[in-house]
Amino acid sequence: MFDPSRERFLERERGTTRREELDPLKLTAAIADMASSGCWKCLSRPNTSQLIQGNHAALRLPTIAATAGFSTSAVMSKNPLAAKPKGAFGQNMARGGKTLKIKKKPPPVRSGKPPAEGERKALRKRIVLSNTNALEVELEDLGMSNVSSEGLAGKVVGLSGSTVDSLRASEAFKITQGWNLFRRPAILVREESVICAKVLEEAGAEKKTERLVVDGGRVSGKSLMLLHAMASAFVKGWIVLNIADTQELVNACTEYSPVPDTTPTLFSQNTYTAAWLGRIGKANEAVLDKLQLSQKHSLPIPLQENLSLLRLCELGAQEPDHSWPIFQAFWKEITAADRPPVLMTLDGLQWIMQNSLYRNAAFELIHAHDLAVVNHFVQYLSGEKSLPNGGAVIAATSRSHAPVSRSTDLAIVQQLNRQSEEEITERDPYEKKYDERADKALKMVQVMWLNGLSKREARSLMEYWAQSGVLRQRVDEKTVTEKWALAGNGMVGELERGALRMRI
């Protein structure tokens, strides 16, 4: 075996540079002759270079486990490339210290009882109509003697308990209106309110059907105008049918099914119709309880001969599967001879002047006019049908929460041009979102445009607020002018927000 240390030793002693010329036997004898006792000790100990080179040689050994050429048994030797087991101290763990372990927080556990079905919606739509902390104000109530009196223009009148109950059952009150600030509900009689009351009185006296659309700017009091019309109808003893939230009719949230033997196919919403019949019965309880069936109807459920119309509404509310046929029978009864006039109201006209979110069997969008309840209202709003005993059909638009309906806006502008004898606004030739069915329904409908309150009406309203203890300011000409101007020339919603709700 070749040893570099021995070769260097011989080269140093003899001065030889070529190791090929040396004989191993002669080399051993020469070393024995020339080496001293100290050199033998050096040769007997392992050299440092030998240890280092031996270690390197050990590191250069192949790491592949030796296996037979052909064997069915697993390799018994340990794989040196395998990961080391995790001991007390891992590779990434610092010795002598503690590591920070951040654990994810578990999801919160619901310990309370979950709300029942419909409980959150009922809480969201809950209306508070009385505040015992407010001061009581003596007001003249709206009644038969003054329902259409011009002397009430610009004054605040109260609503009787029976009228309030009927309006609540009809869902005429809105959560955005500040009814919870006062002792009892009261309304301001505007000039437009007197006009609306006279229209209702004329329709009932002459037994004709009045068709009216109430429009105006945002928070101009359109829903309050509907409420005033409904309150006047309840005072007169009319039968009132109100569709409070048209969005629920078209947003595909209720069950629907095709009505047989209808062309084009109509779709009934049985659950909504049942709830609507229940509200109609509660709102008109005083009138319907005195009226009984006068015709024979072929219904899926048997009916008594002397059944009252109130009981008929209750049956429709209890039987959602048969609610639409029961409503048709109810409508035939209230439009029969010698029945009271009928008032139909709707809030949010734009929702029903476009396609709904429902789909038919071919997965095509269903137009809102093909829904049975909406179709029933539109037939009387468009003038296709009339009320035999007289009455009115009133619809109000919404400028705060409603889709944009080009046909509705164009029909309203054109009708306002006709009423003021101005040039008719032409259709935009580049607009593609017009709805032909909406154009036909709103072709010849009267429009009432609501502007802001006059300064006289604003002063009367602010004086009522001050008497109730809500407005804590001196109501004089300066204050009225300031609030009226900041409210966009008397927009009633902005006036209430600036005077009652805003604190500076």
**What is the pTM for the complete model shown?**
0.77
Q: Output the CA torsion 314→319→325→331 (10° steps).
A: 10
**What would the pLDDT profile of 230-261 be if each residue is shown by its tens digit?**
999 999 999 999 999 899 999 999 999 999 99
Average pLDDT over residues 179-189: 95
> How far apart, in whole angstroms, are the C-alpha atoms of residue 201 and residue 390?
10
> What pLDDT, on a 0 to 100 scale, did the predictor assign at position 118?
87
> What pLDDT, on a 0 to 100 scale, did the predictor assign at position 56?
47
Non-local (6+) Cβ contacts of 294 within 8 A are 333, 336
Q: Using pLDDT thresholds of 50, 70 and 90, give the confidence band for residue 18.
A: very low
> What pLDDT, on a 0 to 100 scale, did the predictor assign at position 99?
79
**What would the pLDDT profile of 287-318 be if each residue is shown by its tens digit?**
999 999 999 999 999 998 889 999 999 999 99
> What pLDDT, on a 0 to 100 scale, did the predictor assign at position 10?
61
> What pLDDT, on a 0 to 100 scale, did the predictor assign at position 98?
75
Q: Using pLDDT thresholds of 50, 70 and 90, give the confidence band for residue 374.
A: very high
Q: How many helices and strands, by DSSP H and E, does the chain display?
A: 19, 11
Average pLDDT over residues 409-435: 94
pLDDT at 473 over 80: yes
Q: Using pLDDT thresholds of 50, 70 and 90, give the confidence band for residue 70.
A: low
3-state secondary structure of 124: helix
Tokens of 244: 């409070």
Correct CATH for 141-451 of 1.10.287.620, 3.40.50.300, 3.40.50.150, 3.40.140.10: 3.40.50.300
Element (H, E) at 392: strand 391-396
Average pLDDT over residues 278-286: 97
pLDDT at 504 over 90: no
Mean pLDDT estimate for the chain: 86
SS (H, E, C) 136-204: CCCCCECCCCCCCCHHHCCCEEECCHHHHHHHHHCCCCCCCCCHHHCCCCEEECCHHHHHHHHHHHHHH
Average pLDDT over residues 102-127: 88
SS (H, E, C) 309-326: HHHHHHHHHHCHHHHHHH
Nearest to 50 by CA among 12, 4, 11, 13: 4
Element (H, E) at 496: helix 492-496
Non-local (6+) Cβ contacts of 482 within 8 A are none
pLDDT at 76 over 70: no
Domain boundaries, the chain: 1-41, 141-451, 453-504
> What pLDDT, on a 0 to 100 scale, did the predictor assign at position 349?
96
**Percent share of the chain, pLDDT over 70:** 80
